[in-house]
Amino acid sequence: MTSKTVATEPNDLGKHFIERGNAGDVDGLVALYEPNAVLAFPPGNLATGHAEIRKVYEQFVAAAPVLSPGRQHPALVSGDLALTVSTLTTGEVTVEIARRQPDGSWLWVVDQPVLVP
């Protein structure tokens, strides 16, 4: 697993996120997003584009979190768009929209990583 590994299925993005986050790989985390993606994290904040998303993940990785995979739900795919959802071990839910790229890989376009049911 490297930050160059691409997501061939929408749910690969969540798996790559856990691996890269635990490895402290900021570049790898940013690479999971389209250049103009929107990340709603930390709660109440929006980061738009790679530069802002990078700043979020630099702070995130500096805190050295230990990420555990939760329960990833089947992706809901319609053409080149997919809705990905995971229930974390904390009970929080992540919701993302991914888009198929011209090379067939998937990247997140919108990421809401913390929803409390």
The structure's pTM equals 0.92
At 36 the pLDDT is 98
Name the DSSP letter for residue 47: E
At 3 the pLDDT is 61
Domains of the chain (ranges, CATH numbers) = 12-115 (3.10.450.50)
Determine contact, residues 29/17, Cβ cutoff 8 Å.
yes
At 1 the pLDDT is 45
The two structure tokens encoding residue 92: 């929080």
Name the DSSP letter for residue 5: P
At 69 the pLDDT is 87
Phi, psi (rounded to 5 degrees) for 62: -60, -30
Distance CA 70, CA 6 (A): 21
Q: How many helices (H) and strands (E) does the chain have?
A: 3, 7
Name the DSSP letter for residue 10: T
At 109 the pLDDT is 98
Determine contact, residues 93/18, Cβ cutoff 8 Å.
no
Distance CA 39, CA 14 (A): 14
Report the chain (117 residues): mean pLDDT per 10 consecutive residues. Answer: 81 95 96 98 92 96 88 97 94 95 98 82
Nearest to 87 by CA among 116, 56, 109: 116
